[in-house]
Structure 1
């Protein structure tokens, strides 16, 4: 074998060494790492919420609330501007985003428009690029007609985006009230926030805090007319009817204008009433508020006011009873938890707009520990099974492959540590899958070396030729995985982005370890031993004489597989997948009995009385665990949270809520759209790559084989009624990658043989190419199946369904690479004449194979 460049050698070994150095901190605790020298790497792979427990909330600014508030404030501003301009008007009102009024003197319409010019003036948009946006536009009218204005969609979008920006700090302060962990808060789109908090003991309290706007004000009661008269007729213009928190609610006539607002509170703590012992909230007021209230206390200390929280009256004390000096007390049938929450909300401040929880994924710490245990167990068994398989088939070379796979996993961990990517449970599944698939590259290398060693010439030349010729196949196969991983990350959501990250990183590290590292290890073996032949431990020789005529039965097999694809399509249309909460909305709750055995029948009966739809209760794992599925509530995102609240109130005394997933209608629609786009984009991107690397006939053959695999797998999910969720999307994309990996390897050999055997019948050439790569196809399928079988047998419920889908897909993908991709290539060559560079006319199945561009 030729000498390698010293620089390349240094780079390879430095990368391997750096991988071990940066992965090492993951073997130690944070306390132990704190004692390390500062110059040593100390970054660990951050664990996802599904591995350490915590909550993941997606919050959406309620656009309708923004519109309603903008409508009200704009109407007030219009009325003030007209009064300041001394313009008489009538009928000032609004609906939706439209506002209208009439000018009493028709000749002053133009003057009225001039008075409103400041309100309709453009404002600067947020962001790096400043654009002029009109929040309010005039919808022209003739003199004497009503003046009409409209709040623009662009202006509302600006207000929504501004509310999201302002909400970040408030949300962070509220999280600080219930957790010492540093939260992850990021924007998603124009109107959403994604909040992640790890190690949370009381996720329900956090959700309660985040879902309240907490606009706390003090307003005077309006004694100008009886409350019931105001309810029956119309309240005064400066007042409104608000209702109490009682059941049934009590109406109060209160002034619209507040004399104490949320910004006036400088301190708030839960406390107890010294006379009654009831929970209350003690607060202190700022200097400006005191300056306003002190004269009021001196003038009429017994005047009643309303303490209003988010439009509801908490209590109506007299001024002197609630405020003494700069301190005050809020009471009103508060529980201890209610007092704590209200004090926390007052300290954190109000949100700029209402936030609705549209997606929730909460995992208890115990679930994370169990998930890590089961995933590591599955991973160890998968690794041992793959290692045993490789050593059994390749002996010493198999041991080299095991070393390369170990280094591969270490490099993945190091990369995750360096970039700070979160390791999730699906991410561990991605690493386990990488263990099985990465072996494919080593199998490709060893089978090519065995093939080259059978030819004339010294072993040194055979080793060099084998590594050179196999490189393009390794790159092609792994780049398809990287492309799918990148697209799944872009379109994916939640924990399965972790699967995409490990899949993409694993594809890149596999190219490095399987080719470059393995080549150097084999070269070291050759330089020490100077052998004349390959090690005797290679036991795949029984494939050498394989001469299966796969294409001889291609027509009946192709028809059978096409019929199965059609049947899957019919089942998909007629029955439809069993969509999980990810795609149709709803809730999934994992419960564990606090004592004794979980009674599924009792749970079902109690939940049926709540009228939440067709609730399903099923056993899960042990006899103490059950899984509850609550269907999507038709009333929207808030209804989903109400349903979870009812279930929690009904069952929390006897059961621990170990895992809660809630997906509202808006989030499920987005996940459905993103999942469909993800699969479509991944398939198109990979096929474009195949087209560029080969030619259009190969790309079409790969596309048809891939569509067949996806259809059959979806049909399998429909027939088995396996829940179709985000895990299914990840599994389908992985199957696409695996199938294309298999197809690309065979196509690579077909392309090489095109050049080598230009006069050979195409069907015979395809048979020869498949037989030449048969050992690789079988061994890769075996090692991948071993890894997935370990995942299925020893993983938890989520990983088991994921692994089961992949097991089916691996078998289907392996068959389609032979009996779909091959016959389609023959069909297109028959219809299309000759491939690039071809020199012979088309002559059916026995036509001479045409020359394709490039070499393997």
Structure 2
């Protein structure tokens, strides 16, 4: 008997109503996409993809999620950056000098006096005055080596230590360089993502390309320069001992030291020990604040390891200046007045409120482990994106109308039911996209257009089976029932194979390919639902009301 239980009918219509409710905000809101708004959103930390004006009285208590527009539809910035992984080698080796100095100093009776020598980047050279103690020196320095943290470097150590006459030479081992390269790229990816997220930009594309390159695409950014301003600042924060202070930029800092300019005091240069006591990598929090004079500043807090080192140094060096260095500039060099336990402090300087806020954001997001060299930068204007949207709309409308006309001419009243289901199908797709906050790209629009063409396949299979059953002199009710029963397996098999393809595209692909896979996958789910349940319910409701003696499909 051709019938559908009441609870199933309620569930079907409830699902359709929920999908329409989720999709409707896309028609009731308009996006503000001007250059100035994008700048304002970046400055204030607002969500650029949520930068909307209510275009109508859409109730606030109802779902208001929108489908985000991708870079090719909305405009934005595109960057291709190369990570300078070699920078990390030099930083690692420079930071090793205090440990080497301390371990050799304890064996001074055997190795004699020790002195740091001028070294190439990524290399540490230490001269000992007693060459006959070289074996002992090498043994002690090799004791500083640690196992390489890498699957491919199992059993290897991170340092390569050798002796040349009266000099101990320390470099990173090849296994450690390989592991460091991988960690540097992954850390750069994560920090770039966190920096972009900190300023409220949603749905960016941030992915690795090749060995040492990173692709960054952010919709809604006014220009590539704005994006570079967000991620290009390294925000390398260090706390370094002060050796001296001068006004001569030509002052020789000496081996193991460096000469850096003061940010606040024009013409003043500080000679600092090159090896920092604590680095920004050990920060766990940074927040904009005000100092005791009411001037903008930044509060910071270290992790336990950083807090211990910071506390120990301040306890042992009361009365000595201590430089706070940001990106090779001395922000301030206060004198340590007392022991500072707990690992908390404040960074003061001639900051504006905006500068202190941005500095806190950069410090919270973490320091880039290496410099980025931008190989390619491109700004996609919103006008080009609007042209893509208009072209996509035309393609969708043409496909939609062509399918509606074909179904109406081919199957009459049943074709009309299929057309109603097709309209609901498109709405359900947008409802699902809005629910997960998906990003719609031009390939995504192609997936929707393809869905429009594929959506009626299931209905065509059903209707053709109904025609075959009518030719065997079945009654209308029995023909409809058997048509759905016998077509069900073919519908499921055909759509499962296509859905598997969409899943593989999503898992293996990236960027535009994923956008196409998402809309295609959702389209398959909604097409099967509307064909098997919605169209059938419409036919059953019509049949119950009319009770036709004959049936034309």
TM category (shorter chain) comes to 0.5 to 0.7
User: What's the RMSD between the two structures over aligned residues?
Assistant: 5.4
> Is residue 428 from structure 1 mapped to residue 445 from structure 2 by the alignment?
yes
Partner of residue 305, structure 2: none
Aligned twin of 1:11 = 11
Q: Relative to structure 1, is the Cα distance of residues 172 and 10 closer, same or farther in structure 2, using a 3 angstrom cutoff? A: closer
The Cα offsets for residues 453-504 of structure 1, whole Å up to 9 and x where unpaired, read as 2224333333222222222222222223222222222232224422210001
Deviations along 1:21-64, one digit per CA (max 9) or x if unpaired, are: 222222222636886253x3232222323333333556564322
2:221 counterpart SS class: coil
SS at match of 1:201: coil
Which of 463, 467, 475 aligns to 1:458? It is 475
Assess if the C-alpha contact under 8 Å between 1:488 and 1:497 holds in 2. Answer: yes
Question: How does 1:805-820 map onto structure 2 within 5 Å?
Answer: none
Report whether the alignment pairs 1:31 with 2:49: no
Alpha carbons 1:428, 1:499 under 8 Å: kept: yes
Structure having the larger proportion of residues in strand = 2
Q: Distance in 1 between matches of 2:21 and 2:248?
A: 78
CA distance in 1, matches of 2:248, 2:538: 93
Residues 1:376 and 2:393 aligned together: yes
Q: Which residue of 2 aligns with 1:67?
A: 89
Which of 91, 101, 109 pairs up with 2:135?
109
1:155–1:113 Cα change, 3 Å: farther
Q: What is the aligned partner in structure 1 of residue 65 from structure 2? A: 43
Higher relative contact order by CA 8 Å / sep ≥ 6: 1 or 2?
Answer: 2
Of the three residues 243, 255, 267, the one matched with 1:237 is 255
Name structure 2 gaps, 5 residues minimum: 30-52, 262-267, 290-294, 301-309, 311-316, 335-346
Aligned positions of 1:399-798 closer than 5 A: 399-535=416-552
1:507 to 1:92, Cα distance in 2 relative to 1, 3 A: farther
Q: 1:5 to 1:137 in 2, by over 3 A?
A: farther
Gaps of 5+ in 1: 244-251, 269-281, 297-304, 320-325, 331-338, 539-856
Distance verdict in 2 for CA 1:220–1:82, change over 3 Å: closer
Question: Given the superposition, is the C-alpha separation of residues 504 and 65 from structure 1 closer, same or farther in structure 2, using an over 3 Å criterion?
Answer: same
Partner of 2:43: none
| Residue aligned with 2:68, SS | coil
Distance 1:193 1:224 in 2: 41
After superposition, give the CA deviation of every residue in 1:192-250 in whole Å (9 maximum; x if it has no partner).
Answer: 8776644333442332442232558999999899959x8xxxx831456999xxxxxxx
Change (3 A) 1:224 1:83: farther
1:398 to 2:420 alignment: no
> 1:595-640 deviations in whole A, cap 9, x for unaligned?
xxxxxxxxxxxxxxxxxxxxxxxxxxxxxxxxxxxxxxxxxxxxxx
In the TM superposition, residue 116 of structure 1 has moved relative to its aligned partner by 5.2
| Counterpart-to-counterpart distance in 2, 1:12 and 1:267 | 52
- Report what 1:212 is aligned to: 233
2:38 counterpart residue number = none
Closer, same or farther: CA 242–42 of 1 in aligned 2, 3 Å: closer
> In the alignment, what sits opposite 1:352?
368
- State the Cα distance separating 1:67 from its structure 2 match: 2.3
Provide the rounded CA distance (Å) in 2 between the counterparts of 1:167 and 1:479.
38
Distance in 1 separating the partners of 2:58 and 2:534: 34
CA distance in 2, matches of 1:149, 1:199: 45
Q: Which residue of 1 aligns with 2:273?
A: 257
Q: Normalising by structure 2, report the TM-score.
A: 0.67
Q: Give me the whole-angstrom Cα distance separating, in 2, the residues matched to 1:172 and 1:346.
A: 15
Question: What is the aligned length?
Answer: 476
Q: Deviations over 1:535-555 (max 9, x none)?
A: 2xx5xxxxxxxxxxxxxxxxx
User: Could you say which structure has the higher helix fraction?
Assistant: 1
Preserved CA contact (<8 Å) 2:148 2:179: no
Give the superposition deviation at 1:167: 5.5
Task: Find the residue that maps to 2:501 and give its secondary structure.
Answer: helix
Check conservation: 1:184, 1:197, Cα contact below 8 A. Answer: yes
Evaluate the alpha carbon distance shift between residue 253 and residue 465 of structure 1 in structure 2; reply closer, same or farther with a 3 A threshold: same
Whole-Å separation in 2 of the counterparts to 1:527 and 1:504 = 34
What's the CA shift for 1:368?
3.0
What does 1:182-201 correspond to in 2, within 5 Å?
Answer: 182-184=201-203, 188=207, 197-201=218-222
